[in-house]
Every structure is written in structure tokens, then in C-alpha cells.
């Protein structure tokens, strides 16, 4: 049985592992909304299929899909992808899925943040969002993982951790007035310490220019390994992104992580600038209560929005002029992983990218005392969760 736990992960000895630590698998959702995805979401569905197929080369993938879309999703997704019926309001599993935490014995639990569609009624991207807010709980029940319901409005894309006590966030997002208006910086930090098990929070300023999440860090910067951060970058001084990335660069150089280290900062040049085409904008059904799409609008494209799988990097292909250089850069940052590029413009048109549509479940590790001794093997074992 899955329990909703009192207390906090930190008090119970849990921490959020870094994405580069071993995974049991990855969760995604199926894109369906015609007011966010053009042409009734069909091009986006095909892009999501490519992402799921790429990840499933490295780790098990589960996709949640609403009842009417189940037959299509099942038919389009590779057979080895597990498809489960699950209501949702849109397809951003990073944000509506659980943030998993682990303890020293290898137990995995999930944090279920409050979700308000990136800003609630004052600036959020759609209403209602009640089905999205239930997704983390449903995924945790399917995975048979106990759950903490956090008192904070937060999203998985708003946090990155190094797994060694450091979190990376932006002020634009976590201090925004439409997420936790009654909480200041100190209270938010306390919430992150309690629910992620971190002891040091590094605050960047703004997120990527025109990012409709309101500044998610996962489009701007992420940990490559402890002590090393990858930052989206442009050398075009007149680009509005220039000052944002420069500010992040300076803050990262001034920062110390939880272990007192200075950070090595790696620049990852961004694609574009990219903007929304007229036909692309016209394919989205305008609906009251949603943001709508305007041709010519700048897209928040960034190669930092990649997913780290077991042994792989699933990176967005966004611009034929820059994709190859970005892939080479990622290969040099992750020499032990295979870099797989997936065409991702259709995901970008919906407002996010590959990291935003995925959510890892960390591998449960058996402790030395509990691990069975296998013939010919040692005591150390890594178990896929749910097996």
C-alpha cells in the first residue's frame, strides 16, 4: 500500500538525487490539448513518441494518457513503453509528476508539490489544472512509492540538484508572486531544504527570455556532475538573453555549493534565435483562459533542456545551424553517455522541451545488509524499482 506521510523528506533522512544518478525509469504524459499543441496535437504526439523511443533504449518508460487517446497513444508508442490511462490537463510530466527522494538504505519516496499551472488564476497558463495536480499521486501509487504532499506550489522544472546537498533555482520563478505569495526567500529556501534534503540553495536571477513557465531553471542551467554546471549562452550582446545568461554566469562564479566548492561553469550556446511561424501559430486553437499563440513571438529554445538517462543524453534538435555543435558539446560534457538527438521544435512550440516532458524515478538501491548474495556476484545490487 502507498502511504501519504507526515513530516518531511529531510527529517526522515531523504534527499533528492541528481538526474545523473541511476534511474529505475522515466515517466511522460501524452500531449492532447488543441489550445496548446497545433493541429490537434498530432505533430507533438509524434515528437513525444520519438522522445519515448529514444529514452527506452536506456531505461523503462511509462506514458500516461487520457482514456479517449489511449488507442492512438498505444498504437504510436513502441511496445516496450508502458502506457497507462491517466487523466491530465497537459503533458508536462517534469512539473506535475513526483520529485523523487531517496535515503541511505535505497528507499525511494515521492514529493507531490502543489501545482497551479505556472501561476494560478493570475498569470497561469490554463484553468482548470486539477487533473494535473493529481498526476504525481497517481504515478506514485502505480510505482508503489510513499508520498509527501508538500505545502509549496512548485514544479520539477523549477529545481535542479547536484545530489550532494545543492539546489539551483531562479528568483523569477520561485519568488514569483503567483506561486507562493505569502512566502519570502527564506521560507522558500526552508521548503526546499525540507523537501529536497538540500543545505545550500543557489539563486539565479531570471530564466530564459520569454519562457512561459516564468523562469524555470531547467531551461537555463543544470548540473552536469557535482561541482559543474552547464549554462545556456549567447554571444549576441543585443539579444535579451545575453544579460540574463551573463548574470547567471556571474552568480554561478560567486556561488559555493553545499560542500564549499566553487562551480565550474560550462557554456552551451543556444539555438536561433527562434520564433513562432505564422502557420504554426494558426494551428493552435485559441481558447479563453489560455495564453494563445502569436506569430513572430520569440521561442524559449535552449539545448540545456535535455534529459539525462541511464547511459544516455536525450537532447533537443532545434536548429540545423547549431544542433551538431551542441551535440558535440554535450558529448564532451558527458563522455560516458551516448548523446541522442530528437527533433524537438514541436515540443518547443508547446512551451517547453525534452526535460520538461520527462520525469525520472531514481533506482532503489538495496543496502549491503539487505542485498541478496548472487551466485558469482557480490553483495552490491541495483534493483529496478517495481521489479
Annotated catalytic residues are: 356
- The distance of closest approach from Cβ of residue 59 to ligand KQY in the complex, given in angstroms and rounded to an integer, is 20
Q: Does 352 bind ligand KQY (CB under 6 A)?
A: yes
- Confirm or reject binding of residue 297 to ligand KQY (CB under 6 A): no
- By the rule CB under 6 A, 207 interacts with ligand KQY: no
**Nearest to residue 202, comparing CAs of 251, 249, 259?**
251
Strand order in the sheet with 99-102: 99-102, 108-114, 147-153
Are β-strands 221-225 and 228-233 bridged in parallel, bridged antiparallel, or unpaired?
Answer: antiparallel
Q: Which residues contact 58 (CB under 8 A, 6 or more apart)?
A: 309, 310, 311, 312, 338
- Our finding on whether 95 is near ligand KQY (CB under 6 A) is yes
* Binding track over 147-186 against ligand KQY, x by CB under 6 A: ----------x-----------------------------
Binding residue for ligand KQY, selected from 73, 350, 358, 364, defined by CB under 6 A: 350
Which range, of 62-70, 96-104, 209-217, 379-387, touches ligand KQY by CB under 6 A?
A: 209-217
CB 20 within 8 A of CB 223: yes
Provide the phi-psi class of 170: left if phi over 0, else alpha when psi is between -120 and 50, else beta.
Answer: beta
CB-wise, 58 or 92, nearer to ligand KQY?
92
Decide: is 99 part of the binding site for ligand KQY (CB under 6 A). no
Q: Which stretch binds ligand KQY (CB under 6 A): 107-115, 211-219, 239-247, 263-271?
A: 211-219
Q: Does 115 bind ligand KQY (CB under 6 A)?
A: no
| Beta-ladder partners of 375 | none
Residue least distant from ligand KQY (Cβ): 352
Q: Contacts with ligand KQY: how many residues (CB under 6 A)?
A: 13
- 21 lies in the site for ligand KQY, by CB under 6 A: no
| Binding residue (CB under 6 A) for ligand KQY from 356, 361, 363, 364 | 356
Residue 97 CB contacts under 8 Å (≥ 6 apart), including other chains:
27, 135, 136, 139, 156, 359
Task: Give exposure, 338-371, as e/b (b: 16+ Cβ within 10 Å).
Answer: ebbbbebbbbbbbbbbbbbbbbbbbbbbeeeeeb
99-102/82-85 β-pairing: unpaired
Work out which of 36, 176, 245, 358 binds ligand KQY, going by CB under 6 A.
36
Contact status: 43 vs ligand KQY (CB under 6 A): no
| Closer residue to ligand KQY in complex, CB, 14/223 | 223
- How many Cα atoms sit within 13 Å of 383 on the Cβ side? 17
Distance CA 220, CA 205 (A): 10
Among 351, 360, 364, 385, binds ligand KQY (CB under 6 A): 351
* Exposure on the CB side of residue 205, measured as CA atoms within 13 A: 12
Which residue of 92, 195, 306, 334 would you call a contact of ligand KQY, by CB under 6 A? 92
Return the number of the residue (110 or 157) whose C-beta is nearest ligand KQY.
157
Q: Is residue 354 near ligand KQY by the rule CB under 6 A? A: no
Which chain residues interact with ligand KQY by CB under 6 A?
36, 92, 94-95, 125, 157, 212-213, 216, 350-352, 356
Amino acid at each position: 500500500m502507498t502511504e501519504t506521510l507526515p513530516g518531511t523528506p529531510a527529517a526522515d533522512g531523504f534527499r533528492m538525487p541528481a538526474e545523473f544518478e541511476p534511474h529505475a525509469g522515466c515517466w511522460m504524459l501524452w500531449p492532447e490539448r488543441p489550445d496548446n499543441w497545433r493541429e490537434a496535437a498530432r505533430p507533438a504526439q509524434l515528437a513525444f513518441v520519438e522522445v519515448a523511443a529514444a529514452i527506452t533504449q536506456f531505461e523503462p518508460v511509462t506514458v500516461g494518457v487520457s482514456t479517449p487517446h489511449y488507442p492512438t497513444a498505444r498504437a504510436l508508442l513502441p511496445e516496450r513503453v508502458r502506457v497507462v490511462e491517466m487523466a491530465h490537463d497537459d503533458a508536462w510530466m517534469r512539473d506535475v509528476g513526483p520529485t523523487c527522494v531517496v535515503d541511505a538504505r535505497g528507499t525511494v519516496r515521492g514529493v507531490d508539490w502543489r501545482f497551479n499551472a505556472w501561476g494560478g488564476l493570475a498569470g497561469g497558463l490554463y484553468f482548470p489544472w486539477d487533473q494535473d495536480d493529481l498526476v504525481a499521486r497517481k504515478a506514485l501509487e502505480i510505482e508503489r512509492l510513499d508520498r509527501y504532499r508538500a505545502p509549496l506550489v512548485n514544479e520539477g522544472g523549477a529545481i535542479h540538484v547536484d545530489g550532494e546537498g545543492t539546489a539551483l533555482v531562479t528568483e523569477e520563478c520561485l519568488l514569483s508572486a503567483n506561486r507562493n505569495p505569502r512566502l519570502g526567500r527564506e521560507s522558500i529556501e526552508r521548503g526546499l531544504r525540507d523537501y529536497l534534503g538540500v543545505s545550500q540553495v543557489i539563486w539565479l536571477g531570471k530564466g530564459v527570455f520569454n519562457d512561459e513557465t516564468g523562469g524555470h531553471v531547467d531551461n537555463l542551467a543544470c548540473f552536469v556532475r557535482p561541482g559543474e554546471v552547464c549554462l545556456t549562452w549567447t554571444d549576441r550582446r543585443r539579444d535579451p538573453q545575453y544579460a540574463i545568461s551573463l548574470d547567471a554566469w556571474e552568480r554561478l562564479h560567486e556561488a559555493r555549493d553545499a560542500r564549499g566548492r566553487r562551480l565550474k561553469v560550462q557554456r552551451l550556446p543556444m539555438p536561433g534565435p527562434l520564433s513562432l511561424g505564422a502557420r504554426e501559430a494558426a494551428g493552435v486553437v485559441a481558447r479563453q483562459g489560455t495564453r494563445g499563440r502569436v506569430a513572430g513571438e520569440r521561442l524559449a529554445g535552449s539545448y540545456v533542456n535535455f534529459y539525462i538517462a541511464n547511459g544516455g543524453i536525450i537532447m533537443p534538435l532545434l536548429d540545423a545551424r547549431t544542433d551538431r555543435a551542441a551535440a558535440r558539446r554535450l558529448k564532451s560534457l558527458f563522455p560516458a553517455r551516448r548523446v541522442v538527438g530528437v527533433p524537438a521544435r514541436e515540443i518547443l512550440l508547446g512551451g517547453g522541451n525534452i526535460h520538461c516532458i520527462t520525469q525520472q524515478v531514481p533506482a532503489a538501491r538495496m543496502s549491503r545488509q539487505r542485498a541478496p548474495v548472487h551466485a558469482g556476484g557480490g553483495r552490491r545490487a541495483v534493483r529496478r524499482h517495481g521489479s
